[in-house]
Amino acid sequence: MADKEYVCAYKYCLHHGEKVKSSESVVISKKHYHWDCAAMKQEINDCANSYLECIEDKTQYPVVMRIMNTLVFKNKVPIDFIKENIEQSKLYYSDKPVQILYGLRKLFWEKELNRRR
């Protein structure tokens, strides 16, 4: 019996539309994902939740998710860098984390440029 194949449900699929076999897929709320796509989605979700812990306006969740996805997939900022900076700012400013997420993009690229020199 052949394995059934599904299209990965992740909008930013890391495999560029390649189908995932049912035996290799991760199922989250009836949607099939590649295992690494599911992991990336969960990491970004964890970062967004960590950021929103100290923000009063919880309706900003869709905006935060869009910014996180843009940072990771379009601007190529590593998710570990984002997570580290959010946690670091939560320690430094106990009640106010990084308020402007796009500032992380500039911070990352400044560090990259200084490291390459």
Give the pLDDT confidence score for residue 42 in this predicted structure.
Answer: 93
Q: Which structural domain range is residue 27 located in?
A: 5-116
Spacing of C-alpha 3 from chain mean position: 30
Q: Model-level pTM greater than 0.75?
A: yes
* Residues 81-109: tens digit of each pLDDT: 888 888 887 776 665 556 677 777 777 77
Give the pLDDT confidence score for residue 36 in this predicted structure.
Answer: 92
- Return the H-helix or E-strand segment holding 114: helix 103-116
Q: Mean pLDDT per segment of 10 residues, for the chain of length 117 residues?
A: 82 86 88 92 92 80 90 90 83 63 76 72
Token reading at 78: 């590593």
Give the pLDDT confidence score for residue 111 in this predicted structure.
Answer: 77
Domain count, the chain: 1
Comparing CA positions, the residue from 39, 117, 114, 52 lying closest to residue 80 is 39
32 strand-pairing partners: 27
Query: Helix (H, G, I), strand (E, B), or coil: what is residue 7?
Result: strand
